[in-house]
Amino acid sequence: MRQCLIYDGPGAEAKLIGLEYMISENLFLTLLDEEKPLWHSHEYEVKSGVLFLPGVPGPIELHGLDTVCKTYGKTIHFWQVDKGDNLPLGLPQLMMALTRDGQLYDQLAKGNRNVEKRFGVSIEKERAKRVELKGPDHGIHPLANGGGNGLIPKLREVDCKPADSVPRVFV
């Protein structure tokens, strides 16, 4: 398992906006079926060229992405910086990955946020370099990626009585 911190940019002022757990296909296959839809495959993200490692030399990046291409991830974003908030407000969001062409808004890649220009990459050139990479050995599991459906986690109240044996300290 890998644990990845997600920032909104590469600079010293970047905000920590989320985290992702990445697991192997073999570990994913051991998950309960009701857990699997909460995990996404990385094959499309890698092979399409939209996932890249800024500042990592090409051959080293390709080797790393070859490994990532076979994994599954569970990503939680707790700061939606695109809303312009100065703090991480609201509920954390379970995020899914891009899984096919047509899901990435063109303005995110080439428009006002211009990822390609900011990071000096061409998504199409990256896609061409990665055509030989392979995804999970058993193919993408049908329950991964939300089982092909959108998911909305629900917040609910539960009765949690405090344990008398646990000291409470507030600073």
pLDDT of residue 161: 73
Mean pLDDT score, 117-146: 91
Four-residue CA torsion sign, 109, 110, 114, 116: positive
Is residue 163 predicted with pLDDT exceeding 80?
no
Residues 66/135, Cβ–Cβ less than 8 Å: no
Instruction: Give residue 146's pLDDT.
Output: 87
Give the per-residue pLDDT at 98.
Answer: 85
Q: Give the pLDDT confidence of 57-114 residue by residue, as tens digits.
A: 989 999 999 999 999 999 999 998 888 889 999 889 888 888 888 877 766 656 545 7
pLDDT at 152 over 80: no
- pTM for the full predicted model: 0.83
- CA separation for the pair 130, 109 (Å, rounded): 18
- Look at residue 171 in the predicted model and tell me its pLDDT: 65
Residue boundaries of the structural domains of the chain: 2-148
pLDDT tens track for 20-71: 999 999 999 999 999 999 999 999 999 999 898 888 998 999 999 999 999 9
Q: Please give the pLDDT value at position 52.
A: 87
CA 82, CA 85: separation in Å to the nearest integer?
8
Tokens found for residue 140 = 């993408």
